[in-house]
Amino acid sequence: MINKILLPTDGSEHSDHTVQFAIDLAKLTNAAIVAMYAYNPQPILRKRGALAAEELKSSLEEDAREIIGDVATRLKAEGISVSALAVEGPAAEAILRAIEEEKPDLVVMGSRSASSVPGLTLGSVAEKVVRYSPVSVVVVK
């Protein structure tokens, strides 16, 4: 039985299809959704001074909260019980951590992120999550 779905999203147009898939599935199963967005300032922070780094990190965190807040609003409007997470760290690692902490029955995620190269069938984040997740993962194309 599916009671809780973890929905990693990046706010891209492609992720809209994934969100809709999760909405449809949650309605069929009466599942709650934990929507999450991972942001990773580390590659950028290494190249900045301390003050600029803190400002950048704060800006990325604010963007993450806005993106995941928009997704949560959409889910609530569909009558779905939702919680929202903005998590710092590389996407695959953040998703795998969220799986451990949230204990979903299923993960629903896109096949590629907004930054992936078009034409690839499965992005590196999705591939890593599928490989290491202790729960089933549905990858939406």
Q: How far is Cα of residue 76 from the mean position of the Cα atoms in its chain?
A: 17
Give 91-137 pLDDT, tens digit per residue: 999 999 999 999 999 999 998 655 443 433 347 899 999 999 999 99
Residue 120: its pLDDT value, please? 38
Q: How confident is the model at residue 47 (pLDDT cuts 50, 70, 90)?
A: low
**H helices of 78-123, where?**
91-102
Q: Are 45 and 57 in contact (CB under 8 A)?
A: yes
Q: Hey, how many other C-beta atoms are within 10 angstroms of the C-beta on 97? A: 14
Q: What percent of the chain has pLDDT over 70?
A: 84
Q: What is the pTM of this model?
A: 0.87
CATH 3.40.50.620 fits 4-140, yes or no: yes
